[in-house]
Chain A
Amino acid sequence: GIQVEQSPPDLILQEGANSTLRCNFSDSVNNLQWFHQNPWGQLINLFYIPSGTKQNGRLSATTVATERYSLLYISSSQTTDSGVYFCAGQFYSGYALNFGKGTSLLVTP
């Protein structure tokens, strides 16, 4: 079946460090999104990025659709960046967003 795989599963950073989260998907996508799930459980939209590169402040994302992967960059991390980061792909065969298992990020002071 269609798979979305994220790495690493867990990440601990010191405040100020940079990181790269990776998302591999097994089929072509017509929608690729990154989310941050905060400690209260809310899913916050970070990027809608089926292809190309986008930046929003300290965060940026790149999707290379032909090679079936997406990257999320976090620069100068802050403790408020802690939480779980999900990528989710919507494939041409269906309408559901297929979520990866997430990367759990802890940023320490």
Chain B
Amino acid sequence: EAQVTQNPRYLITVTGKKLTVTCSQNMNHEYMSWYRQDPGLGLRQIYYSMNVEVTDKGDVPEGYKVSRKEKRNFPLILESPSPNQTSLYFCASSWGGGNEQFFGPGTRLTVL
């Protein structure tokens, strides 16, 4: 089944404890991106990647890192999480930047 997977789906952590949210797609898509969803602010892009080893900042990149070493994986790294990073995170992928994007199931992160 063609899909985007994220892990973990739910995570409660404490301020400053490094964490990684994994994202994987099995559709051989070149484009991948991360969004966060917050009440009143909607969905905003954090980072995106046009292909392996090519990443760029989205609208809200502060406090996040990404890497794209393999085509199928695009992990989101929070080196020192803070409470304002409590959010619902989505990974998405598509064939290219202008094509239909498919979203993962989301990761609910709470930083205490």
> Residues on A close to B: CB < 8 A?
30-31, 33, 35, 41-43, 45, 48, 86, 88, 90, 95-97, 99-102
Complexed CA–CA distance, A63 and B68 (Å): 34
- Whether A86 contacts B97 by the Cβ 8 Å rule is no
B100 touches A33 (CB 8 A): yes
The CB with the most chain B CB atoms within 10 A, among A31, A86, A88, A101, is that of A31
Given contacts A95-B48, A96-B48, contact A42 B106 (CB under 8 A): yes
Per the CB 8 Å criterion, the residue count for chain B at the interface is: 25
Known: A90-B97, A96-B33. A41 touches B58 (CB 8 A): no
**Cα-based distance from A20 to B58 in the complex (angstroms):** 32
Q: With the chains together, A62 CA to B103 CA distance in Å? A: 22
Name the CB-closest residue of B to A45.
B102
Tell me what chain B mostly uses at the interface: helix, strand, loop, or mixed.
Answer: strand
| Distance between Cα atoms of A30 and B101 in the complex (Å) | 12
Residue from B33, B100, B105, B106 in contact with A95 in the complex, judged by beta carbons closer than 8 Å:
B33
When the two chains form their complex, are residues B45 and A45 in contact, meaning their CB atoms are under 8 A apart? no
Q: A30, A33, A96: which has the most chain B beta carbons within 10 Å?
A: A96
Besides A43-B103, A95-B56, A97-B35, 9 other CB < 8 A contacts? A31-B98, A31-B99, A31-B101, A42-B106, A88-B43, A95-B33, A96-B33, A96-B58, A97-B101
Given contacts A31-B100, A96-B48, contact A43 B106 (CB under 8 A): yes
Q: Once bound together, how far apart are the Cα atoms of A38 and B92, in whole Å?
A: 17
* Distance from A56 Cβ to chain B, minimum over Cβ atoms (Å): 14
A residues in contact with B56, CB < 8 Å:
95
Q: Could you write out 20 A-B pairs with CB less than 8 Å apart?
A: A30-B98, A31-B98, A31-B99, A31-B100, A33-B101, A41-B105, A41-B108, A42-B103, A45-B103, A48-B99, A88-B43, A90-B98, A95-B31, A95-B48, A95-B56, A95-B97, A96-B45, A97-B35, A97-B43, A97-B101
Tell me the bound Cα distance from A48 to B98 in angstroms: 11
